Amino acid sequence: MSTWISLRDLLVDTKEAEAAPTLSSTLSAEYSEKELEASLGKEVNSADSLFDLQQKEECTIPIEERPSETMEKESDEASEKFSDFMVFEKSKFTEKSLHSQDENISKEEEEVSESLEKPSPSLETEDVKSTDKGKTSLESSHRESPNIPKEICLDSVGKGESSKLEEEKESTDKPGKPKKTARVQSNESVSDNASVVQMSLKPCPSVGSSLENFELNSLLHAIRSVDSHPGSAENGAMMEEAWERLQKSYVYYKGKPVGTLAAMDPIAEALNYNQVFIRDFVPSGLACLMRPATAGGEPEIVKNFLLKTLHLQGWEKRIDNFTLGEGVMPASFKVLYDTHRQKETLVADFGGSAIGRVAPVDSGFWWIILLRSYTKCTHDYTLSEMPEVQRGMKLILNLCLSDGFDTFPTLLCADGCSMIDRRMGIYGYPIEIQALFYFALRCSRQMLKPERDGKELIERIDKRIAALSFHIQKYYWLDFTQLNNIYRYKTEEYSHTAVNKFNVIPESIPDWLFDFMPLRGGYLIGNVSPARMDFRWFLVGNCIAILSSLATPAQASAIMDLIEERWEDLIGEMPLKIVYPALEGHEWRIITGFDPKNTRWSYHNGGSWPALIWLLTAACIKTGRPQIAKRAIELVEHRLSKDGWPEYYDGKAGRYVGKQARKYQTWSISGYLVAKMMIENPANLPIISLEEDKRIAKPKLTRSISF
């Protein structure tokens, strides 16, 4: 019970708690302890009961039980006028719309308020269950799990007990560096292909831990473990500076704010950094949504941005003689003043001016995700329900859901089509795009209206969600066990019984990976396609997979384990490595095409991007590991403002301000603000996170029957 008191005190202390939307709106100072408990229980249980309700209505057959696997430069002329794949018999409606979720929540609110005097039974049972399980799940993902048999609790380098202690001491002595203790846990799971006698190791300890009530556990755990931040006066000043700078970056169109400039560096050449980038605006938009209205929160700018970019989507998009798909969203836009016509005009870039002439595949997905965040935060359904907004969503989805030659549910992409917008070997099926695709599918699923052609589209979305999550969870997942499996793969296997489905040649596993892979932890690799696994770590894809619940709870927890285990590589002195490791020498020449901006440990090639701190923080809170985010935020606070809010840092540890980094980069500023607002008020998490849909069947991990 004392934890609840401190929770209330904590949240009452923060201004954000008083005014923040959703969960926090129930956490005002007037609330009694019981009310607080009941309201927390209500929030979470309402989702559970919604889920139960749907389950009764629908009968979803898990995939595994299917009978058989049938298986800029500126444009001078600007004018607004330019301005083992599964077969499903029937699609299932797996997500409730945002609107109906809210209606259900308010019905439940009435019920909960009746029982305010009694402790909420569902909260009690769920919470007791989750606390017990939480010990196995949440704590097992920390260091000293009581469940791990002593004899298989090893330190990662196989040293004895005393050296392990020394190592632990050493690592705790260093700020920001987690202890290095690895464990191997015996955990049985059944082979999904019993006929294949293949040597495979036991799964990574985190995989296989049961994480029921994942979102609830992590949220409560996160809230409880947030304590007052050291150096808060200094950090308060940094927050103030950040808000001021963010506001200065606003771009206005016809008197209304419609976005934020990418950077406001007074010295460096602007190039296209004087534009509003769709992906860069996401943390800015989230900051404006999360900021309490009493402190100047501005959801209006997000609405204006969404409508303005929707308008741009309607332009005819032509590069040379070729016209792009109707649904393509721009990478960026800017407002110009046409002195001749004496009016403001918009100029948008759909890839025609970008380096490499690649259209941004991520823009449309971010647009849908931000639309859901806006709706979730403001409860203003009028925007997402507008016919033109519904149409915009459909156009984006139609681009991705059309039938073709694909044998995979993942999206085939060109290099440079996302945040990494230069050639970096991410062509094919990059994890960032797949995770954003999944996130956007699930968000649209909540917002699309089934009227007219909507129903058919929803069915296609449901099928794709199921197929995509199966594919990613099964084929992109890599941990120690899986690495050892791949290392021992046979090649030239034919037919559907093949274990090495993509004919990956074990010799293609890069040397660095054998040292990098800890016993504890795992991640979703960068790319999977025929005979090609890109084993690099990409932060955005992994964090988005956690936030969208594309990664299973156990996988999400293992990703956090990996970050702890490989702190120096993935976080270093300035968070966060966009990709690990860097391409060097011959590989750099061949893969980047000798790109001088992407030399090793610089920019996209192993550079460190503070803008990504908000993504890590959200993922940490969701997995109940806020202490990881706090350590990373502290590192950001040591330098970011003093260094002039650079775009990125260079070097293996991210120690140097990036060679060509812009200063006063807006998403470095807003990313920090969002991270701070989330760590101080974890109730902001649902604005950018989706709960696990338990009816999307999970693939079973392939395990040997001979082990």
Name the site residues for ligand GLC (rule: CB under 6 A): 262, 273, 277, 279-280, 419, 421
The smaller minimum CB distance to ligand GLC, of residues 22 and 660, is found at: 660
The smaller minimum CB distance to ligand GLC, of residues 280 and 691, is found at: 280
3-state secondary structure of 101: helix
The smaller minimum CB distance to ligand GLC, of residues 363 and 549, is found at: 363
| Distance separating alpha carbons of residues 654 and 610, to the nearest angstrom | 10
Closest contact distance (angstroms) between CB of 470 and ligand GLC is: 29
Closest contact distance (angstroms) between CB of 665 and ligand GLC is: 6
The smaller minimum CB distance to ligand GLC, of residues 489 and 601, is found at: 601
* 261, 249 contact by CB (below 8 A): yes
The smaller minimum CB distance to ligand GLC, of residues 279 and 652, is found at: 279
The smaller minimum CB distance to ligand GLC, of residues 279 and 423, is found at: 279
Helix (H), strand (E) at residue 511:
helix 511-516
Cα angle, residue 681 at apex, residues 215 and 3 outer, rounded to 5°:
70
The residues near 177 (Cβ < 8 Å, ≥ 6 apart) are 171, 567, 568
To the nearest 10°, the Cα dihedral for 150, 153, 158, 159? -60
Q: Name residue 94's beta-bridge partners.
A: none
Closest contact distance (angstroms) between CB of 331 and ligand GLC is: 7
3-state secondary structure of 332: strand
Question: Buried b vs exposed e over 57-83: b needs ≥16 C-beta within 10 Å?
Answer: eeebeebeeeeeeeebeeeeebeeebe
| Distance separating alpha carbons of residues 271 and 287, to the nearest angstrom | 26
Closest contact distance (angstroms) between CB of 60 and ligand GLC is: 38
**DSSP code of residue 352:** S
Closest contact distance (angstroms) between CB of 299 and ligand GLC is: 23
| Distance separating alpha carbons of residues 378 and 99, to the nearest angstrom | 12
Structural tokens at position 12 = 């009452």
Closest contact distance (angstroms) between CB of 356 and ligand GLC is: 11
Closest contact distance (angstroms) between CB of 634 and ligand GLC is: 25
Directed axis angle between helix 431-447 and helix 387-401, to 10°? 140
Cα angle, residue 169 at apex, residues 163 and 173 outer, rounded to 5°:
145
| Distance separating alpha carbons of residues 440 and 618, to the nearest angstrom | 17
The smaller minimum CB distance to ligand GLC, of residues 283 and 651, is found at: 283
The smaller minimum CB distance to ligand GLC, of residues 214 and 580, is found at: 580
DSSP 449-499: --TTTHHHHHHHHHHHHHHHHHHHHHHTEEEHHHHHHHHT---S--STT-S
The smaller minimum CB distance to ligand GLC, of residues 276 and 562, is found at: 276
Closest contact distance (angstroms) between CB of 421 and ligand GLC is: 5
The smaller minimum CB distance to ligand GLC, of residues 349 and 565, is found at: 349
Contacts 24+ apart (CB under 8 A), 338-344: 338/78, 344/253, 344/254
Closest contact distance (angstroms) between CB of 57 and ligand GLC is: 42
Residue in the structure block whose two tokens are 């806020």: 626
Closest contact distance (angstroms) between CB of 648 and ligand GLC is: 9
The smaller minimum CB distance to ligand GLC, of residues 277 and 315, is found at: 277
Closest contact distance (angstroms) between CB of 360 and ligand GLC is: 8
How many alpha carbons lie under 13 Å from residue 680 in its C-beta half-sphere?
26
| Dihedral of alpha carbons 50, 52, 57, 61, sign | positive
Length of the chain equals 707
- Greatest alpha-carbon span in the chain: 79
The smaller minimum CB distance to ligand GLC, of residues 7 and 258, is found at: 258
Closest contact distance (angstroms) between CB of 667 and ligand GLC is: 6
* 299, 374 contact by CB (below 8 A): yes
